[in-house]
Structure formats: structure tokens, C-alpha cells
Amino acid sequence: MEQQNKIFFKLDDLVKTDKRTLTHVYLDLNYTIMTDKQLSDFQFQLEQCTEIQSLTIKIECNNLQDQQLQKLIENLPNFKNLNTLKLLLRENLITDEGAKSIGFALKQCQQLTDILLLLDTNQIRYEGVQSIATALRNSTFITSFQLSISENEIDDEGAEAISLAFKNCSSLTNLTLNLFCNQIGEKGALFIGKELKNCSLLTSLCLSMFQNKIGEEGAYAIGQCLSNLKNLNKLMLYLDTNNIRDKGISEIALGLSSCTQIQNLNLSIYDNNITDEGYLKVDQCLQSLPKLLKLECFLSDSEKLLKSRDLINCRNIKVLTLYLYYCQYQKDKKEHRLKALKIKRLVQLNSF
């Protein structure tokens, strides 16, 4: 069957379409008030998409509640050809009960290879993430898993549950974990690092855990896991606004230095307790990565990242992007730019 891609902004548009031909469906219902009748209509129409392979449902900033979510997704297990599922549900009123509905649906969809869950700014805690994680524990076919659950109420126990989601995903090559602005401390970072180190096939990793409570032990675990991910060519590592000191950042730099295939790196470590010694270790690590071509860094006013002679003599980085949103003073922004321009063989400098 020929692939049929379709984006719907209204349920009425879905009604008018020959649903038997649809294989890739994107439902953008952001501005739809979901009454009980509309939910029933939605279920009925979606049931007829028997050939669907890829489904995206986007309902963000819409006060979506648990019971409504359950009705939206309860038919997912009936789609036998479904391999890609994307649920964009940020800024709603979803609690653990709604997350359990997602977990139940995922458990029945064992043929999925690509999963995206955007659940930021809801009211999900341990029981909710545990349900989602349990559903994915034996999903050996998944190659791409993206979970964004920032600004919820995730603590160390919740982080442990999340880590179990990809424990047995032996085919995983692309992983995104957006866990920022939660309450994750040392134990939570240890759990994440312990399971991540077994994902040896990863080529792309985004680990965003800024504004948590991660210290030296958590940083050590992250460094240990990076040392095992030798196939990475793209890494986004956001650990700013935690409690990491020189010893912890040195372990991360040591682990990162083993990722010799990395070509693209995004790094944010400002607003920790790192001194010149710690920043030097990071600069030396960046200088040592033989295939690193593109580097993006978030810098604050007095940050010493990218300032050492080791990095200035770096011969691999060709494109450098600096994000200077958190610099309050123009003189600091200017100093960051001027220092970056001294990097040898740098072809392009971007700053924002």
C-alpha cells in the first residue's frame, strides 16, 4: 500500500477522509475543546484507520485530564501495524492515573520501534513513570525512545523507575531523557547511569538533568556510563544548576574522552561548584576528541569553560555555537566571543 501522510487540525477533517488508506497520521488538537461527544467521535474515527503505521497526537496546554487521555489512547493496541507512536501532551492535568493509561497502551503495542512521550509540566510522580517503564522493559524492538517529563514531581525513586524503561532495550540507538526541573539527587542519577551504560548501541543521546540535586556521586555514575557508549556520534548533555564539583566533572570528562566517535556535542555545566581545575579537565577532554566538529555550549558570566590553552590549540572543532542568555553583562559576552575566536582552525562562530 502506498504511504499516506496526513495532518489533521480538526476532527471534522478526519471524518471526511478515507481512513482505510491512512498510514501516517498527525492529529494536532491543541485548540480543540474535548467534550465527551468529541472523544467518542474521535475513538470511532480512529478505529477505522486500520492500516496506520505512525500516529502522532498533539494536545498541549489544553487542561487534558486522565479520563480524557484514557479514551484517546485505549484503541492503540488494535493497530497491528503501528510502529511509531508520538504523544505530545505537555502542560495538561495528567496525573499518575493518566500515565498508567499510557503504560497500559504501550504494554499492548509490543511492535513499536519509535516512541516519543512529551509529558512535561503535568502532575506525574513515581507510580505513573513506573507504569510506563514497566510497559517498556521487554520492548526489544525499540530503536528510538524519547521521554520528556520535566517539571513534574520526579524524585530518586521515579528516576529509578525511568531507568528500568530502557534496561532491556537492546536495539536502542537513539535515546532522549529530558528530566530537568525535578527533584532527582545522587541516587536517581546513579540509577540512570547504571542502566545507560548497558545501551552500547546508542549513536545519539540527549541527557537533560539540569536544575536537579546531582552531586559528585551522580556525576561519577554519568561519567562511568559515558565511558561505555563508544558508538555515540551525537551527545547533548545538560547538567547545569546542580551540585557538581571538580571531582564529579573530572569523572564526566574522563568518561566523555572515551566517546571518540562524537561529531556533535552540546554541553551545559554552568552554575555548579566547578573551579578552574574542573574546567581545565573538560577543555582537555574536548581537545582530545578526534572527530568533534560541532560544539554548542551554554555559558554564564564568569564561566571558565573554553578558556584554557589546551582548547585554544584545538584542531578538530570547526563550528562553535555559544548560548549567552545567562550572561548578565555585555563585557562577559564579549570576552566569551573573543576567547572563542582564538581557537585554531575554527571556521564558524555563532553566538546568541
Give the span between the Cα atoms of 49 and 19, in whole angstroms. 5
Query: What is residue 152's three-state secondary structure?
Result: coil
- The percent of residues in the chain predicted with pLDDT above 70, rounded, is 99
pLDDT(200) > 80? yes
Cell numbers standing for residue 232 = 555515540
pTM for the predicted model, two decimal places: 0.94
Question: What local confidence, expressed as pLDDT, does residue 3 receive?
Answer: 55
Give the span between the Cα atoms of 93 and 64, in whole angstroms. 6
Summarize the confidence of residues 285-291 as an average pLDDT.
95
Q: Is the Cβ–Cβ distance between 173 and 144 less than 8 Å?
A: yes
In this structure, CATH architecture of domain 85-351: Alpha-Beta Horseshoe (3.80)
Residue pLDDT, tens place only, 70-121: 998 988 888 999 999 999 999 999 999 999 999 999 998 889 999 999 999 9
Question: What local confidence, expressed as pLDDT, does residue 5 receive?
Answer: 77
Give the bridge partners for 268, in sequence order: 238, 298
pLDDT(210) > 60? yes
The angle subtended at Cα 96 by Cα 213 and Cα 211, nearest 5°, is 20
Residue pLDDT, tens place only, 119-150: 999 999 999 999 999 998 877 889 999 999 99
Output the average pLDDT for the chain: 92
Q: Is the Cβ–Cβ distance between 91 and 63 less than 8 Å?
A: no
Summarize the confidence of residues 325-330 as an average pLDDT.
90
Summarize the confidence of residues 185-192 as an average pLDDT.
96
pLDDT(195) > 80? yes
Question: What local confidence, expressed as pLDDT, does residue 1 receive?
Answer: 44
Cell numbers standing for residue 20 = 482505510
Summarize the confidence of residues 229-239 as an average pLDDT.
97
Residue pLDDT, tens place only, 29-78: 886 767 888 888 888 888 888 899 999 999 999 899 999 999 989 888 88
